[in-house]
Structure 1
């Protein structure tokens, strides 16, 4: 089975959430590779900065501000791509946000925001771009395409106090696995991958900065949400694998036709434990079994908070 070869001046890559984190590094590395880039981000100034930087190194780039939770914005992204470069060879559904706290304390607006970006954003990307790619493949037997959806190790695990995020990322893994299988039924020319990063310094712990006003929760964050925010900030900012290294893994996986992309394969031991729980019908294993002091600290903090 042949896979996509990234060709300078030929291959076109669409990247959502291109203003920071993985998206920014994917755009930078794509520019180094001489690829045509079509970018979007919800934050206009960050997007403008990326475009200016890439044009400074003579990259071929087009960009439009967009919120991937809005299908019309993803359609505008596709229209821009078709106008400038034609059907994209690679679509990377990267845009994502994070929100934590005890699962029953998520407001309905919290759910709307997290699922809107993390899940529906990927759905909109697949819905919009896959038919275009399949049509290009039908017209040209040599044409190759690839879709990458950014999930998380949170899509393979269920860390406590991160409910909405876990749900959204599990859904993206399921969506991606199904996309892979569905594509294999109808074509040998378009493939799919899912990226499941663990803790990588990307800025996702600050994603609330771009939360739409109409989806902001009323009232102050709950204690569990503040604890989740603090833990997320510490974990993300202390990550040793960089976003740039992750971008290199993604482009390498595209050319290899590799489906699962991991930044921290050592974390798969926890995934194995979870799957063994499922297979053997065991109750879920304590996620802090390897670091009981962290689990105990979290338990005590939450129980004290609940008591008021």
Structure 2
């Protein structure tokens, strides 16, 4: 199998593991050109070699998405090699937990830099070239897919920095969708809101820049949040590969919201009802009171 300038091109950040690698694998199975970006060079080398072995064209580039100039270089390299891409997956993400007042400014800078500004930079770098291609080619169709989370729809405790970042991605992507509707019928956007799926994000601190590492060790609440998240993501039944299939189907059929666990929307409905009824927020673990009890016991004990 081989692909080239005439084939569909997809760009993926966070492409060396988790959802990103599964997007690359699925895109390669369709014969797409694959642009892979990741901050972890060794993992990127292995992942891009795997995808290139399928016979498709691969452009792999080490990128820290929190750095605007690096994302711009990625966009320029993509355009030079393949032209404006068809799909852009702003997928790179990191996580940090704990009681929100215990998060350091370095925690905020790291998470917001990757999860929010990384998406902003991707949107700014790729949208103009996609719109230009749409004007030049009536048959062209483009989509920007931003990875948020169910944490962008809910506000579970001990996940404050992550929650804030993912709410921002949902808001950004909803606005992007509406803005694109004003100027084009050929380029659109979708937002991915996975629940707990094993992707490696629980170990994202492995790629935390030295200058953004905390001087002191984690607090009790941060240790508790880390253990809780690790347990949740490793016990999930939906895999990253299954999620990739859902995402490609959603983009193929023009769906904006992409949820890995639709049953969790009951909690979203409760949150929306709290807002419209001007009611205090419902305990997100109301259906699993043992979780709240365990958290209180650990944090108050």
- TM-score in same-fold range (> 0.5): yes
For structure 1, list consecutive stretches of 5 or more residues without a partner in the other structure: 1-6
Q: Which runs of 4+ in 1 moved over 4 A?
A: none
SS at match of 2:197: coil
Q: Compared with structure 1, are the counterparts of its residues 8 and 64 closer, same or farther at alpha carbon in structure 2 (3 Å cutoff)?
A: closer
Distance 2:51 2:35 in 1: 11
Aligned partner of 2:296 in structure 1 is: 299
Please report how far the alpha carbon of residue 294 of structure 1 lies from its aligned counterpart in structure 2 after TM superposition: 1.1
Aligned partner of 2:280 in structure 1 is: 283
Aligned partner of 1:185 in structure 2 is: 182
Distance 2:136 2:33 in 1: 21
SS at match of 2:188: strand
Q: Compared with structure 1, are the counterparts of its residues 9 and 135 closer, same or farther at alpha carbon in structure 2 (3 Å cutoff)?
A: closer
For structure 2, list consecutive stretches of 5 or more residues without a partner in the other structure: none
Residue of structure 2 aligned with 1:223, choices 181, 199, 220? 220
Q: Would you say 1:118 and 2:124 are equivalent positions?
A: no
Please report how far the alpha carbon of residue 79 of structure 1 lies from its aligned counterpart in structure 2 after TM superposition: 1.4
Q: Please tell me whether the aligned partners of residues 5 and 82 of structure 2 are also in contact (alpha carbons under 8 angstroms).
A: no
SS at match of 1:119: helix
Aligned partner of 1:257 in structure 2 is: 254
Q: Please tell me whether the aligned partners of residues 198 and 239 of structure 2 are also in contact (alpha carbons under 8 angstroms).
A: yes
SS at match of 2:88: strand
Aligned partner of 1:194 in structure 2 is: 191
Cα RMSD after superposing both structures: 1.1
Aligned partner of 2:75 in structure 1 is: 78
SS at match of 1:40: strand
Distance 2:135 2:80 in 1: 20
Deviations 1:100-137 (A, max 9, x none): 00000010000000000000000000011001111111
Q: Out of 136-145 and 45-54, give the one that drifted further.
A: 136-145
SS at match of 1:92: strand
Aligned partner of 1:93 in structure 2 is: 90
Distance 2:246 2:79 in 1: 27
SS at match of 1:170: helix
Query: How do residues 151-190 of structure 1 correspond to structure 2 at under 5 angstroms?
Result: 151-190=148-187
Distance 2:120 2:7 in 1: 26
Q: Compared with structure 1, are the counterparts of its residues 8 and 88 closer, same or farther at alpha carbon in structure 2 (3 Å cutoff)?
A: closer
Distance 2:55 2:138 in 1: 31
Q: State how many pairs are aligned.
A: 298
Q: TM-score, normalised by structure 1?
A: 0.95
Residue of structure 2 aligned with 1:51, choices 48, 53, 67? 48
SS at match of 1:10: coil
Q: Please tell me whether the aligned partners of residues 8 and 34 of structure 1 are also in contact (alpha carbons under 8 angstroms).
A: no
Aligned partner of 1:3 in structure 2 is: none
Query: How do residues 54-73 of structure 1 correspond to structure 2 at under 5 angstroms?
Result: 54-73=51-70
Q: Please tell me whether the aligned partners of residues 5 and 81 of structure 2 are also in contact (alpha carbons under 8 angstroms).
A: no
Please report how far the alpha carbon of residue 175 of structure 1 lies from its aligned counterpart in structure 2 after TM superposition: 0.3
Deviations 1:56-106 (A, max 9, x none): 111211110000000111111111111211110110000000110000001
Distance 2:297 2:28 in 1: 48
Distance 1:261 1:78 in 2: 25
Q: TM-score, normalised by structure 2?
A: 0.97
Please report how far the alpha carbon of residue 8 of structure 1 lies from its aligned counterpart in structure 2 after TM superposition: 11
